[in-house]
Amino acid sequence: MGKTVIFLLIFIGMHIQGTAVADTLAGEDTAGASGSSIPALAAPGATAGGTAPERKKPMSGINVGEPQFISEAGLFYVSPATQLVIKVVGGASGIARTEYRIDNGEWKAYEPFRVTAEGSHQIDYRSIDNAGNEESPRSFSIVVDGTPPQTTASIDRREVVPGRPGLVGKKSTIMLETKEDGSGTALVEYRVDQGAWQPYTSFTAPANGVHTVSYRSIDNVGNKEAEKTITITSEKIPVKTSALVGGPQYKGKDLVISDKTPVTLVVESMSGVISTEFSIDNGPWRSYAPFTVPGEGRHQIAFKSTDEAGGKEAPHILDLVVDTTPPETSLLASGQKVEWGESLAVAHKVEFQLTADDKMSAVKTTEYRINGGAWAPAVPFSFEAEGKYEIEFRSSDMVGNLEPAGSFTAVIDRTPPVSEIVVGIPQNRLDGLVHVDSMTLFQPKAIDGLSGVDMVEYSVDGREDTRDTVPFTIITPGRYRIDYQAVDKAGNKEPLKTMLVSVENAQGRGESRGDGAAAESAGIRRREFKFAAKAAAVPPQLPAAAPFSDMAGAERRAKSDTAIIDGPMGSIMPESAYSDGYQAPPVNQRLYLDTTRKDKIGLWEYITLGIVNISLILGIMLL
């Protein structure tokens, strides 16, 4: 019968009699219902006195599903599971659409809905027929209750907390009280020793022995409280203290916690507790308050309580391990471990893998990111495209220790560097030669856009290779060939380049340091190349310069504090890539055999011309 009444209230109207409903439906649609009332619905055209004229506008009403409850104050309670349905009658040519909104929000196209947020809400709704007749918005108020009641138990008006024993006598009364701030309590029930549930009325404790009493409450819209259980006994139970270890914690071979993990002591006593104390690592006993355990390593916690009846328990012992050290993450590049902060430059695909280890608890997460992107769980990854990749990685353990991020730089570089030899002054370019004197500095230089320059290597007239960027001079007059190239840190080697130079007008330099030896002048460190006069003479064809031999990376790297000497580029022969069977590039013999000079005559040529002239004069005189 109760459900029938509710249906009639909803479907016919909460406060409107039958004839009034008919008059409302038959007349023009006005402001509509408001407050908590639900608009009436009736068959189209029906009135108390006969046939009503055809309505021009539709009329909507809300059908509230279960669970629902109307309080004495007229509040309409529902649960978050209650479904709300809008029904429509009337309309000139059928209903085009029905829409609703909650708490003055956006209008939404209607479909059965629920309101889940706790508290009071206003629902506005309206319908429009196919002729465009629009119903004025109607309103309906509900209160959503999704919180179950809370029940407490007491023995002879002394509250008993679940998990702690309660002492009862032969005539002790057990009472249950509920607190419900929403729709109100519909039912309180209990059971003894896991028996059948029964509605609550105050009851007397069972006979001697230890028993359990379970209880719960349900409110008027079906929210059910989780079952609670207390232990009652007529026998005296000694005081008992237990330790509750919070989080973070990890239970493996040992109980591992962090130095921020709280430790709580819980006491069970029938007569009440006078004191609870604890001690860490055989230290002094201290009055209990929730505490943490400082200092990494193994620790022993002792604790005990005394009740009001004078009962004292023996100390309990809790062993645990404090872990404050984060895991260590290792990065493997193609199976080889690399060090944090270092870099790797290669010309081929490289694969990476992350591993982590924790000495005390266990690794919980390992993650990485590339070039400052989002952190992602660690999986094997690789790089193949040219570019520079900044890898960051870190791990955390089961007790919340987070490792500072490590980093490693990987460079995939398949482009060789570009080198040059900058020729200082004095210099002059003529006939494919760079003309200099013994004071002219040659500065090897190179650039590389990715991995960086590893070394510049060069050879003067095929002499032993030199692998650095220290400026050099050639102090012996003559014509020379300089072969040079650069190598980057990924091992890319540029094609060999060649420069032809002529050293003239050698100036006095004192005692030489020898061929290729380092010297210093005017604060500039340099190398000096000295050749025997005979070797300085240009042969009919320059010697072929062999490709530079490979050297270990550590041996190849040249360190120099030399200042760079800027100047115009020397003449460079066209580049060519040499294979293992190296052949010298073709040499213009005219550069070495033609005695015609277009700029000035050298010292030896002056002497030669002088001797020729004297010989001619003497020959003429003898004739």
pLDDT in tens, 341-355: 999 999 999 999 999
Tell which wins on pLDDT, 266 or 172.
266
166 and 262 housed in the same domain: no
Averaged confidence pLDDT in the chain: 79
Assess whether 87 and 119 both reside in one domain. Answer: yes
Strand partners, 354: 331
pLDDT band at 518 (very low <50, low <70, confident <90, very high): low
Please report, to the nearest 10 degrees, the dihedral formed by the alpha carbons of residues 205, 211, 212, 213 taken in order: -10
Domain that holds residue 296: 240-322
Say if residue 96 is in the same domain as residue 175: no
- Residue 532 is predicted with a pLDDT of 73
Would you state the pLDDT for residue 52? Answer: 44
Do 158 and 253 have their domain in common? no
Rounded to an integer, what distance in angstroms lies between the CA atom of residue 214 and that of residue 230?
Answer: 7
Same domain, 568 and 429: yes
Query: Which CATH number fits the domain that encloses residue 570?
Result: 2.60.40.10
- 618 inside domain: no
Amino acid of residue 264: T
Q: What are phi and psi of 78, to 5 degrees?
A: -135, 165
What pLDDT sits at residue 47?
32
pLDDT tens sequence across 148-188: 999 999 887 888 877 666 767 667 788 999 998 899 999 99
- What's the CA dihedral at 506, 507, 511, 516 to 10 degrees? -40
Closest C-alpha to 445, from 429, 421, 424:
421
- Same domain for 218 and 275, yes or no, is no
pLDDT band at 461 (very low <50, low <70, confident <90, very high): confident
Amino acid at site 572: I
Are 407 and 479 in a shared domain? no
Which of 233, 265, 297 finishes a domain?
A: 233
Domain end residue (candidates: 293, 322, 351): 322
User: Are 304 and 356 in the same domain?
Assistant: no
Cα angle for residues 308, 313, 315 (degrees, 5° grid)? 135
621 within some domain? no
Q: How confident is the model at residue 200 (pLDDT cuts 50, 70, 90)?
A: very high
Q: How confident is the model at residue 137 (pLDDT cuts 50, 70, 90)?
A: very high
Q: Which residues contact 455 (CB under 8 A, 6 or more apart)?
A: 467, 468, 486, 487, 556, 557, 558
Residue 262 lies in a domain: yes
Residue 94, CA atoms < 13 Å, CB-side half-sphere: 2
Residue 609 within a domain: no
Output the pLDDT for position 170: 66
Helix (H, G, I), strand (E, B) or coil at 520: strand
Partners of residue 500 on adjacent β-strands: 481
Q: For residues 520 and 383, state if they share a domain.
A: no
Residue 496 is encoded by which pair of tokens?
Answer: 């060999």
DSSP annotation of 3 reads H
Number of domains in the chain: 5
SS3 10: helix
| C-beta separation of 135 from 32 below 8 A | yes
Q: What is the pLDDT of residue 533?
A: 60
Question: Is residue 297 over pLDDT 90?
Answer: yes
Q: Are 450 and 413 in contact (CB under 8 A)?
A: yes
Pair 354, 425 in one domain: no
The Cα 3–Cα 5 span in angstroms is 5
Where is the domain boundary, 347, 378, 412?
Answer: 412
Q: What is the pLDDT of residue 164?
A: 67
Residues 476, 585, single domain; the answer is yes
According to the model, what pLDDT value does residue 610 have?
A: 74
Same-domain check for residues 140 and 158: no
Reported as a single tens digit per residue, the pLDDT across 55-109 is 578 999 999 999 999 999 999 999 999 999 999 988 768 899 999 999 999 999 9
Q: Are the C-beta atoms of residues 368 and 356 closer than 8 Å to each other?
A: no
